[in-house]
Structure 1
Amino acid sequence: MDLSALRIFKAVAEEGSVTQAALRLHRVQSNVSARLTQLEESLGVALFHRAGRRLLISAEGERLLDYAGRLLALAGEAEASVRGEQTPSGVLRIGAMETTAAARLPRLLAAFHRDHPQVELQLETGPTDELLQAVLQHRLDLALVAAPVGHAELAQQEVFDEELVLLTDAGHAPVATPQDVAKRTLLVFRAGCAYRRRLEAWFAEADVGIARVCEFGTFEAILGCVAAGMGVALMPREVLRQRGLADSIACHTLPARTARVKTVLVWRADVLRQPARQAFAASLLA
């Protein structure tokens, strides 16, 4: 089992397709298929279940994927250490919450790209829970998520302090308690979103039932539906400030235990040396 085979296996597992993995790795499809078959034969297990053109990872494949991520990360760290590389380079896979990516990252990423042109940035957005799992499974090098983070395998540093506000349409009456919006629909990101959990906890603490929940994939869709009067949402005040939506959306201040949240940068604690990651972390605190 060599590192090249593990890279191919990992790409296929993440893409769910030999064709997409071949495109990502800049290899011909037949080569990827052959190497994957050789790996399965050498291990004596099926790493995937074939479902038409899709490949569904097996239980054995899931176990190998965790080891593959760790082995490939360790190999990259060892190579950089032996070569004495200090200049950040290569691919840096960054995860971020939707709102963080929109409100905090554009200028930071542009500045980082200007200062470190040898680093290829890849950005993926999603809920906090999904991003944490992606870092743990070596699919992301680091991620910006909502605190608190309780994984011993992850190192973390605080980078932003956000104030979350309740959003309603501009004509809504002032909101002081969950009772004031008890009959309104909650407009939220999918399960795993830390901000969604805070909003649901605000209702639960007041013993107020939630009338209805609608899930969205983007914050722009949520903002549009809030402005149209469809329901209420919870988001960082910074998102609203940058977009100048005061004429169509009202912000309502919440208690500090609900409103104040820190955004932290997380990465695997066992990946000790990765110049690109370290440079990015430093840029967030500059």
Structure 2
Amino acid sequence: MELKDLYIFMKVAESGNISKAAKELNYVQSNVSARIQRLEEKLNTPVFHRHNRGITLTPEGKQLITYAEKILSLVSDMEKAFLDADTPTGKLNIGSVETVIQLPFILSNYNKKYQHIDLSLTTGVSEQLIDEVLNYRLDGAFITGRGNRVHPDLVQYDVFEEELVLISDTNPVTVEELKRKPFLVFHSGCGYRAKLEEWLRDEQVTTSKFMELGTLETILGSVYSGLGVSFVPRSSVKYHEERGFIQCHSISKEYSKIKTVFIRNKEAFLTASLEKFIETIEEYRHKEGHEFPFK
């Protein structure tokens, strides 16, 4: 089996159409079809269902995706291992929860130092980002911490700790009244939402309505309008609080303190580009006076 066959298979699976994949690869369609057929013969099983609308993965094809991602990632790591560590090049794919207010400073400092790196950023909730890192689709990610260890297959670096606050519009309201309002939250898998649910459960609040919204901007706009309340890091809404657009309400430290950590897959090769990125995080952490030791 050739690596090229796996690469073509991944491209076809991604596009869902052989002719589209052939165009992106700059191959003739018959060549791509022949490569896929040869791969299926080698594995002695079909990896795609063919139909009028295009193609879809078979169960065996979905299983092959997992192996192909790991194999191609290892090959990429091998190639990166021989690059100049002092002048890293190539791609670096980083993920982050949306509310890391310090992230632009970290990315800017890194980009200024290592201009040959093609840096990309993906946002999502913590559980989604953990899955992306574990499956080699992201080199690393900033997530909200869940205790001492996120996952046994991940290396975790503490970055900073934040205070979560309840936010509401500017109408006078107590924390007890907030509990009865709709809660505007990120999708399931968000660390802030998990903390909120823990607090409501321990407060024996069972009637609160959750409304899932995709972005912090949408949540803030909905809070402004009086649609509901939310639970977010104070640092991410400080500007809005200082200008009187919202109110922030504190709750006990047991539920309001949360760490932001950076994770990477411990089975993946630590490339020079990722190593320099972690160094940049550490430099920022010390500059800002954070005292969390790296684990």
Please give the TM-score of this superposition, normalised by the length of structure 2.
0.85
Distance 1:186 1:29 in 2: 53
1:25-174 pair list within 5 angstroms: 27-28=26-27, 30=29, 32=32, 34-50=34-50, 53=53, 55-82=55-82, 85-100=85-100, 103-148=101-146, 149-174=149-174
Aligned equivalent of 1:266: 263
Aligned equivalent of 2:235: 238
CA deviation after TM superposition for structure 1 residue 272, in Å = 3.1
Query: Which blocks of at least 5 consecutive residues in structure 1 are unaligned?
Result: none
Aligned equivalent of 1:227: 224
Code of the aligned partner of 1:122: S
Code of the aligned partner of 2:192: Y
Q: 1:196 to 1:50 in 2, by over 3 A?
A: farther
SS class of match (1:172) = coil
CA contact (8 A) 1:170 1:246 kept: no
Which range moved further: 3-12 or 146-155? 3-12
Q: 1:279 to 1:83 in 2, by over 3 A?
A: closer
CA contact (8 A) 1:203 1:210 kept: no
Q: 1:35 to 1:112 in 2, by over 3 A?
A: farther
Distance 2:210 2:82 in 1: 53
Distance 1:226 1:119 in 2: 39
SS class of match (1:183) = coil
The one-character-per-residue Cα deviations of 1:229-257 (angstroms, maximum 9, x if unpaired) are 11111111111124566412111112112
Structure index of larger Rg: 2
Q: 1:136 to 1:174 in 2, by over 3 A?
A: same
CA deviation after TM superposition for structure 1 residue 78, in Å = 2.4
Query: Which blocks of at least 5 consecutive residues in structure 2 are unaligned?
Result: 284-295
Q: 1:16 to 1:133 in 2, by over 3 A?
A: farther
Which range moved further: 36-45 or 224-233? 36-45
Code of the aligned partner of 1:228: S
SS class of match (2:268) = coil
The one-character-per-residue Cα deviations of 1:45-98 (angstroms, maximum 9, x if unpaired) are 232345765654333223222222222222223233345654221111111111
Code of the aligned partner of 1:87: T
The one-character-per-residue Cα deviations of 1:87-137 (angstroms, maximum 9, x if unpaired) are 22111111111112xx12222212211211111111111111111111111
Identity of aligned residues (%): 35
Please give the TM-score of this superposition, normalised by the length of structure 1.
0.87
SS class of match (1:140) = coil
Aligned residue among 174, 186, 191 for 1:189: 186
Aligned residue among 272, 281, 286 for 2:278: 281
User: For the aligned residues, what is the CA RMSD?
Assistant: 2.5
> How many residues are paired up?
280
SS class of match (1:64) = helix
SS class of match (2:77) = helix
Distance 1:252 1:164 in 2: 9
SS class of match (1:98) = coil
